[in-house]
Structure 1
Amino acid sequence: MNELTNTQSHYLFKKQLDSIDLKEKFEEGFCIINLNQVEFTPLMSSFFHLKHFSLLFVKKGNGICYKEGCIYNLAPYTINFSNIYRYRNFTYKNLQEVFFICFSEYFLKRYVNENIYKEFKFLLTERMYPVDASKSDFIIFENIYKKIYSEFNNGEVESKYKIIGNLMAILLYYFKDLYIDCNINKDVTISKTSTIVISFKKLMDSHYNDLKEGRVNKVFRVQDYARQLDLHPNYLSRIIKNKTGKSAALWITEKAITESKLLLTKDFSIKEIVHLLGFFDTSHFNKFFKKHTHLTPTQYKQNNLL
């Protein structure tokens, strides 16, 4: 068999994921995949921006991951975390026992912890080294992610994401402790542009917390974030776009949608949400929400009450 090019392999991998209904499975902002289902190796990707957080657990297999100008080996007992919208590619030479977990901010805030960035600060870290776990440490993770995998594929619809959320909390706490222990002596120097991205994300999360708590009533635009960070708006926009692959304005839009969805799953009326998140009126909120979710706020609320 002829060896696949990066582009061909990336296309086939995407087609493979489509065949297992990844989009449908990701409806709550969470998915776990046993990469043994991928029917060809080596598996290679083109460069891309990852749109969600991810954790890769390599028990048996090996490969190479390229992230932000650095190349990392993925060997047995490697755990690799990738931040949202990090620029990367990968090559897996074999996939005997490899699990991939993909999760969104929405999932974390709804099912794990609303204060995720305070509880798990590594979620904002720009450069994350893969962790070479000991066999005993890896087995702890394996027991958890296999329970998650079983629940994801076989659990009762009404309760499975609550159970997965609790299991993910345990997994993330273990990973936080292990990552700190394994990387305490490594050079994690952060560039100026990476610092700007981290500060922007932190400020955005803090601002929406202030909105929900009623401490402010004006929604920040790009120029407001730039002013808070003492930067020119055009410079901030350029840095965010170059580092993450999407504009600062789109980051703000997606944050507004995430926070809207979270409030719609709770005991808030649509009028209260309109007021809390600084929309002009209910009509404006309805149009904004439907444009980005293809559902009205009322429809989403009816479908997603816990």
Structure 2
Amino acid sequence: MNPKESVSKNLADLYEMMGLPVDLVSAESGFTVHSLRETFKNLPFKSIAYRPDYFSFVFVKNAYGKYIIDEMTFDITPGTIYFTNPGNYRSFEWSEITEAYLITFNESYLQEHVHQDVYQDFSFLLTETVQPRLMPPEQFDEIEKLYHQIHKEHLGNSIYKNRIIGSLFVVLLLKIKEYFWQNYNPIYEGNRSSFIVKVFKKNLEDHYRAIVFGQENILLRVQDYADLQHLHPNYLSSVIKTKTGKPVSTWIAEKTVAKAKSLLHNSEASIKEISFTLGFSEATHFSNYFKKYTELTPIAYRKLQS
């Protein structure tokens, strides 16, 4: 396999591809947090090139190495925070780790345990490439307290574990927004291709928010998203696939399933009501669609969450 064909569906998947221990990360929860010192014990270490299918924060209190996103290389230095989202090719190198923590999460976890409209308040999550930020010591200390508390709760067995982590994660995102992105808007950054990707992501999020609030009751197609930017659908598809590694249809499917999971977990609506909310004309069609992407029926998924 060519390294640039490696797609990491979750952190356990990536670690397995690189022959690293996976006992500190969960393959299915949609959320991980752990000390990188516990995983990368044999240094230096150079990763494969891969496309992650999840978001990540790296909190570097004291470590050194390199982080490569597409063709951009960033030095890993103490007091730095790195944020990446799904799509871009990346790799990393660690030469020394005294203390560094990694948090990864997917959209379904955000929708279920953090906030159904997380992108409304945290639009920076939609960006393609974010420059790492060197933090003043007092600001990094605030962030450090939060990721350590999240790590502690993650290792615990509270029946409210996900709710506690979700609440702490909102505080963490607010602090990062305060320190990094008070006036950030991803739509106004980058070149033409990046602009198209960012507008597409915003249109996708806006449409599904409108669906949940009852303002829309249809599922948009590739043609519809292309029309919103006055583009040919083939051109939009090419840009999105090239820049993110996933075709438009996959983005639509993943967003639909993420919203469905959130509604199944967070509302008392019936399967029929949820199917109509998401734009399906028949509940059976919705159930088949949901099972195709999750291997569970909506009823079975809801029972697992109860």
TM-score (norm 1): 0.89
Pairs within 5 Å for 1:1-306: 14-23=18-27, 26-27=28-29, 29-38=30-39, 39-156=41-158, 158-180=159-181, 189-265=189-265, 266-305=267-306
The 1:31/1:11 distance shift into structure 2, 3 A limit, reads closer
Structure 1 residue 126, shift from structure 2 partner: 2.1
Structure 1 residue 72, shift from structure 2 partner: 0.8
Structure 1 residue 128, shift from structure 2 partner: 0.6
Amino acid at match of 1:205: E
Q: 2:189 and 2:125 mapped to 1: Cα distance?
A: 17
Q: Is contact 2:117–2:209 with CA below 8 Å preserved after alignment?
A: no
Structure 1 residue 61, shift from structure 2 partner: 1.0
Q: 1:101 and 1:264 mapped to 2: Cα distance?
A: 25
**Match for residue 3 of structure 1?**
none
Q: 1:276 and 1:189 mapped to 2: Cα distance?
A: 33
**Match for residue 10 of structure 2?**
none
The 1:100/1:11 distance shift into structure 2, 3 A limit, reads closer
Residue range with higher mean Cα deviation, 275-284 or 195-204 = 275-284
Q: Is contact 1:108–1:116 with CA below 8 Å preserved after alignment?
A: yes
Residue range with higher mean Cα deviation, 34-43 or 236-245 = 34-43
Q: Is contact 2:44–2:95 with CA below 8 Å preserved after alignment?
A: yes
Equivalent position SS for 1:84 = coil
Q: Is contact 2:44–2:94 with CA below 8 Å preserved after alignment?
A: yes
Q: 1:283 and 1:121 mapped to 2: Cα distance?
A: 34
Q: 2:178 and 2:70 mapped to 1: Cα distance?
A: 24
TM-score (norm 2): 0.89
Question: For each residue in 1:200-243, what CA deviation from the matched residue of structure 2 results, as whole angstroms up to 9, or x when unmatched?
Answer: 11111111122222222221011111111111000000000000
Equivalent position SS for 1:22 = coil
Amino acid at match of 1:16: L
Listed as ranges, the gaps of 5+ residues in structure 1 are 1-5
Equivalent position SS for 1:91 = strand
Q: 1:267 and 1:189 mapped to 2: Cα distance?
A: 40
Question: For each residue in 1:3-60, what CA deviation from the matched residue of structure 2 results, as whole angstroms up to 9, or x when unmatched?
Answer: xxx99xx87774324344530xx42x21112112223222212221121111001112
Amino acid at match of 1:267: E
Q: Is contact 2:85–2:125 with CA below 8 Å preserved after alignment?
A: yes
Q: Is contact 1:264–1:301 with CA below 8 Å preserved after alignment?
A: yes
**Match for residue 8 of structure 2?**
none
Q: 2:128 and 2:288 mapped to 1: Cα distance?
A: 34
The 1:107/1:53 distance shift into structure 2, 3 A limit, reads same
C-alpha RMSD over aligned residues: 2.1
Amino acid at match of 1:229: Q
> What percentage of aligned pairs have identical amino acids?
35
Q: 1:160 and 1:287 mapped to 2: Cα distance?
A: 31
